[in-house]
Amino acid sequence: MKIANMVGDRFKERPSDCVVDSHAFSVRGGYVKYVANGIYSLYPPMRRITKKIENIIREEMDAIDGQEVLFPVALPGSLWEESGRFESVGDELLRFKDRSGSQMVLGMTHEEAAVQLVREYGQTYTKYPFMIYQIQTKFRDEARPRAGLIRVREFTMKDAYSFHLTQEDLERYYDICYKAYNRIFQRAGVPEVIAVKSDSGMMGGSVSHEYMLLADAGEDSIVICTDCGYRANMEAAENKVDNSEYKGMEDLEKVHTPNEKTIEEVTSFLGVPVEKSCKAVMYQKNMTDEFVVVFLRGDYEVNETKLTNYLGEEIHPAEVNDESGLVAGFTGPYNLDAKCTVVYDASLDGIESLVCGANETDYHYKGLNIKRDIGDVEYVDVSKIKTGGVCPVCGKKTITVKRGIEVGNIFQLGTKYTKTMGMKYTDADGTEKNPIMGCYGIGVGRLAASVCEARHDDNGPIWPITIAPWQVHLCCMRVDKEDCKNAADELYDKLQKAGVEVIYDDRDVRAGAMFADADLLGVPVRVVVGPKALANGEIELSSRDKTIKKNIPVDTAVEEIKAVIDEMFAEIYSKVEE
């Protein structure tokens, strides 16, 4: 296609509302168009990229016996009532009524629809196992969409659902799918994507993994042990804290701490290391507004997902008022006279002497020993592990915490949906059982944006050949010179006939503008037809990643260009595991 005819504008200035690079390039390069908060239209280059990603996913799903189906976007609310999620899921599930007043939802995930599709089919054990998948539009009414295609409200997703007779069979297939996911990311040109253990959240089930692309722009924290290779997301990583150096009992003493509010200010004022302090973080339960006070070591932070899982209900940061009985800034576990749920984080376990709030304005205690002064308490893990922390697997202090973008996830769901929705099969022995499910998701647009995040320079994306919108970007430097234009036209024609995907720039614009556009489109192979080289019967061949730059004869150009494309594919496929 000719760039002159392609809809969408490209420009130089970084939009002020774009925080991450992939977002900026998606706007500057004419890839996406903002329609509403978290809702975008896709211009041709991005649609070409997402089609290629969809095809890679489709091939890998078909290769592991996936059967492509299609579920509706608009689903009856009754289906979500069957699973219990109509009530349990928050505002991100968009609920509405149709013209007849029937309750509907926009599908944000399709476990219910998957069970409904195969509930009658799967009534005997002989039908198992099987996996169905779709590639389709989803809507998740995110409170805070951000970063372009990375966190949107409407998105294209591949979601797959497998059904099994036994947990062992689910685990067997889960492993097959785990590998297929690796191949998908390897084929998309980001073999560095790693699988990390994750918390299952609202999906239910036990074992699950997230596929993470390490990137500073990511909003997820990934816990990695540099020694044993342990990997988990922040929610799933146990925070084992070594307090062996904080020994030594002291007497409990109330001290005046005027104007010292933060835990750092107080410990500094009292000359105590922050590790020997007990910080209070306050929440309220969504359902009842009851207060929840979490006590943890002063240098740690609460992980709200862990806390929610422990409490078994949703929470929000507390709005402390006079009636609560809590003294903001001075809350501590000793003499706490307030109606609230108290949670002791395991990071406090083993510290023999602590600084903490005295539940009285401008006063703290020092020398608190929880066992002596409060008694036996239950320590639970609700805090975030930090770089330098203890690996929960190998026990060494070799944890590092990195940022990442979640590009896919796989879950062992168990019987959560088949039980609630009454899906049963008759086993060989005549007994009725619920099949066991797994589910497997990849966000197509988010993967495209993530690849851009991982593969770009200051001037634009550097698309891997496997998902690039085109393979070759052909520039005619002087449309006003007949020989130059003819040579470029001819090459455009020959390349297309040879099956090469070409975007052709034959506009009468400055070289600078032409190359800036080429950088923004990020096509892997660039071919420049200019008068100077052409005088020697040559054209210029280079790669977007700058590893190739050479002149080649016009006569053999098509073959040489095809060879470079083949090499680029081979390079990517060399990293694809069996």
Positions in the binding site for a second copy (CB under 8 A): 1, 5-9, 33, 35-37, 39-44, 46-48, 50-51, 65, 67-76, 79, 91-92, 94, 96-100, 102, 104, 106, 113, 116-118, 120-122, 130, 132, 134, 136-137, 139, 141, 143, 153-154, 156
State in angstroms the smallest separation of the CB of 142 from a second copy: 9
Contact yes or no for 76/83 (Cβ under 8 A)? no
Our CB check for a second copy shows the closer of 37 and 166 to be 37
DSSP-H helix ranges across 394-530: 416-420, 444-454, 482-497, 511-521
Give 71 or 211: the residue with its C-beta nearer to a second copy.
71
Q: How far is the CB of 460 from a second copy (least distance, A)?
A: 19
For a second copy, the closer of residues 60 and 154 by Cβ is 154
Q: How far is the CB of 140 from a second copy (least distance, A)?
A: 10
Q: Could you tell me the CA-to-CA distances from 346 to 73, 239, 253, 318 in Å, in that order?
A: 44, 8, 24, 22
Write the CA distances from 195 to 15, 50, 185, 186, 230, integer angstroms.
33, 22, 11, 13, 10
State the pairing for strand pair 436-443/154-164: antiparallel
Instruction: Report d(CA 85, CA 115) in Å as an integer.
Output: 14
Of 47 and 402, nearer to a second copy (C-beta) is 47
Beta bridge partners of 155: 138
Burial 336-362 (b: 16+ CB within 10 A, else e): bebebebbbbbbbbebbbbbbbbbeee
Q: Compare residues 44 and 325 and give the one whose CB is closer to a second copy.
A: 44
The residue whose two tokens read 């108290």 is 342
How many Å apart are CA 376 and CA 220, to the nearest integer? 35
User: Which residues are within 8 A (CB) of 105 and not within 5 positions of it... i.e. 6 or more apart?
Assistant: 74, 75, 76, 77, 80, 86, 93, 94, 95, 96
Least CB distance to a second copy at residue 328 (A): 30
Q: Name which of 176 and 338 has its Cβ closer to a second copy.
A: 176
| Cis upstream peptide for 392 (omega within 30°) | no
CB neighbour class for 100 (10 Å; exposed up to 12, middle 13-18, buried from 19):
exposed
Locate the DSSP E strands across 320-362: 340-345, 354-360
Which residue, 333 or 445, is less far from a second copy as judged by CB? Answer: 445
Residue 542: enclosing H or E segment and its boundaries? strand 538-543
Structural contact between residues 302 and 336, judged by C-beta atoms closer than 8 angstroms: no
Minimum distance of a second copy from residue 180's CB (angstroms): 17
User: What is the closest distance, in whole angstroms, from the C-beta atom of residue 116 to a second copy in the complex?
Assistant: 7
Q: Which C-beta is closer to a second copy: that of 123 or that of 309?
A: 123
* Shortest distance (Å) from residue 507 CB to a second copy: 10
Q: Which is nearer to a second copy, 137 or 556 (CB)?
A: 137
CB 387 within 8 A of CB 401: yes
Nearest distance from residue 181's CB to a second copy, in Å?
22
Q: What's the half-sphere exposure (Cβ side, CA atoms, 13 Å) at 574?
A: 6
- Whichever of 162 and 383 has its CB closer to a second copy, that residue is 162
Q: How far is the CB of 39 from a second copy (least distance, A)?
A: 5
Strand, helix or coil for residue 325: coil
| Distance of closest approach, residue 287 Cβ to a second copy, in angstroms | 19
Nearer to a second copy, 56 or 292 (CB): 56
Shortest distance (Å) from residue 36 CB to a second copy: 4
